[in-house]
């Protein structure tokens, strides 16, 4: 009998300890998964996108080449290396693409060289990814500035009273 009582007491002592040793997710993981399910506002997403522009780094591999039809469409409707030294005239709120070789003109260099306040980056216009050309911009206000990226120079004129340039530039 003493053995049964002893074993019963032992069991009663260790049973609660066994239950408490069950693993549960740490509170931080539960919190993180709850936060991940909260939808992000458009303003917050835009702010984070603008902050990310300054931290773009070159990809460790080249951007993929788009399909031939897509590539021709981008070239026909984009500012390209062939437009070096030319003047591009557009209107406020007009959008345009810049499509340069990402190996020669990395995007961080382009974003550092864009005329601040004159044109703005359109994040959903980077359809091949945020670090690949073509990149879409929108004219924000009237003015005239020089976009210079290494040996590439383009004068950008935003003037609502002038006729817009056709792409490719003449």
| Structure confidence by residue, pLDDT tens digits, 8-54 | 565 555 555 555 444 444 444 343 334 444 454 545 554 554 554 54
Neighbours of 154 (CB within 10 A): 19
pLDDT the model gives residue 66? 76
pLDDT the model gives residue 17? 52
Cβ pair 138, 122 in contact under 8 A:
yes
pLDDT the model gives residue 56? 52
pTM equals: 0.61
| DSSP E strand boundaries for 21-151 | 78-79, 87-90, 95-98, 119-122, 135-139, 143-149
Give the residue-averaged pLDDT of 62-87: 84
pLDDT the model gives residue 129? 76
Instruction: Report strand pairing: 152-158 vs 87-90.
Output: parallel
Closest CA to 115 of 90, 148, 159, 69: 148
Report the share of the chain in percent with pLDDT over 70. Answer: 64
On average, the pLDDT of the chain sits at 75
Distance CA 74, CA 126 (A): 12
pLDDT the model gives residue 41? 52
pLDDT at 69 over 70: yes
Closest CA to 165 of 83, 99, 70, 69: 83
């Amino acid at each position: 009998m003493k053995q049964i009582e002893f074993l019963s007491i032992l069991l009663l002592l260790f049973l609660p300890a066994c239950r408490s040793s069950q693993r549960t997710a740490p509170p931080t993981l539960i919190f993180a998964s709850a936060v991940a399910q909260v939808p992000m506002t458009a303003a917050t997403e835009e702010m984070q996108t603008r902050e990310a522009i300054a931290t773009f780094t070159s990809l460790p591999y080249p951007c993929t080449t788009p399909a031939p039809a897509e590539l021709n469409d981008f070239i026909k409707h984009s500012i390209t290396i062939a437009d070096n030294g030319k003047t591009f005239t557009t209107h406020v709120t007009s959008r345009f693409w810049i499509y340069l070789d990402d190996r020669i003109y990395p995007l961080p260099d382009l974003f550092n060289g864009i005329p601040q306040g004159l044109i703005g980056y359109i994040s959903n216009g980077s359809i091949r990814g945020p670090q690949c050309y073509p990149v879409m911009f929108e004219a924000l206000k009237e003015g005239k500035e020089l976009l210079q990226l290494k040996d590439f120079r383009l004068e950008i004129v935003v003037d609502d009273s002038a006729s817009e340039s056709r792409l490719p530039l003449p």
